A and B are shown apart, each in its own frame.
Chain A
Amino acid sequence: MKNVIFGVVASLALTTAALADDMKLAVTTSFHNSGLAEILLPEIKADLDLDVQLLVVGTGQAIRLGEAGDVDAILVHSQKAEEKFLAGGNGTHRREIMYNDFVFIGPSADSAGVKDAENAAQALQRIAQAHASFVSRGDDSGTHKKELSLWKAADLDPAGFDDWYRAVGAGMGAALNTASGMEAYIMADRASWLNFGNKGGLELLFAGDPVLFNQYAYLPVNPEKHAHVKNDLALKLEAWLTSDRAKELINAYKIGGETLFVFNAKQ
Chain B
Amino acid sequence: MQKPLFPLIAKQATVRRRGKVLVGPVDLTLGGQGTTIVIGPNGAGKTTLLKMLHGIERMNGGVLDWACPIEEAQRRQAFVFQTPIMMRRSVVDNLAYPLQLIGVARREARARAAHWADQINLGDALERSAMLLSGGERQKLALARALIREPDVLFLDEPCASLDGRATREIEEILLRAAATGTRLIMSTHNMGQAQRLADEVLFVLHGRIHEFSSAKTFFEGPQTAQADAFLRGDIVE
Contacts and interface: CB of A to CB of B under 8 A. Distances in A.
Contact of A160 (B58, B79, B85): B85
A183 B18 CA distance: 10
A161 B57 contact: no
B88 interface: yes
A129 B80 CA distance: 9
Interface of B: 17-18, 51, 55-58, 79, 81-83, 85-89, 101, 131
Contacts of A154: 87
A241 to B, nearest CB: 39
Nearest to A162: B83
A109 B58 contact: yes
18 contacts: A109-B58, A112-B56, A122-B101, A129-B85, A130-B79, A131-B51, A131-B81, A131-B85, A132-B56, A152-B88, A154-B87, A155-B88, A155-B89, A156-B85, A157-B131, A160-B85, A161-B83, A183-B58
Nearest to B98: A129
Interface of A: 107, 109, 111-112, 122, 125, 128-132, 152, 154-157, 160-162, 181-183
Nearest to B87: A155
A111 B57 contact: yes
B58 A128 contact: no
Nearest to B89: A155
A160 B86 contact: yes
A129 B94 CA distance: 12
A160 B129 CA distance: 14
A111 B56 contact: yes
A112 to B, nearest CB: 7
Contacts of A162: 81-83
Given A112-B56, A128-B85, A156-B85, 15 more contacts: A111-B55, A111-B58, A122-B101, A125-B87, A129-B85, A131-B51, A131-B85, A132-B56, A154-B87, A156-B87, A156-B88, A157-B88, A160-B86, A160-B131, A183-B17
B151 to A, nearest CB: 13
A70 B79 CA distance: 54
**Chain A binding surface, main DSSP class:** loop
B181 to A, nearest CB: 24
Please provide the 8 A-B residue pairs with the shortest distance between their CB atoms, ordered closest to farther: A155-B87, A162-B83, A111-B56, A155-B88, A109-B58, A130-B56, A128-B85, A155-B89
Nearest to A131: B81
Contacts of A182: 17
Contacts of A183: 17, 58
B89 A107 contact: no
A109 B60 CA distance: 11
Contacts of B79: 130
A156 B86 CA distance: 7
A181 B17 CA distance: 9
Nearest to B157: A131
Nearest to B138: A160
Nearest to B81: A131
B156 to A, nearest CB: 13
Contacts of A111: 55-58
A150 B58 CA distance: 26
B27 to A, nearest CB: 22
Nearest to B97: A125
Nearest to B82: A162
Contacts of A160: 83, 85-86, 131
Contacts of A152: 88
A165 to B, nearest CB: 10
Nearest to A201: B58
A34 B47 CA distance: 40
Contacts of A125: 87
Nearest to A181: B18
Contacts of B131: 157, 160
B205 to A, nearest CB: 19
A58 to B, nearest CB: 28
A154 B87 CA distance: 8
A160 B139 CA distance: 13
Contacts of A129: 85
B15 to A, nearest CB: 11
Contacts of A128: 85
A169 to B, nearest CB: 21
Q: Which of A122, A125, A130, A132 lies at the interface centre, i.e. has the most chain B CB atoms within 10 A of its CB?
A: A130
A125 B93 CA distance: 14
A159 to B, nearest CB: 10
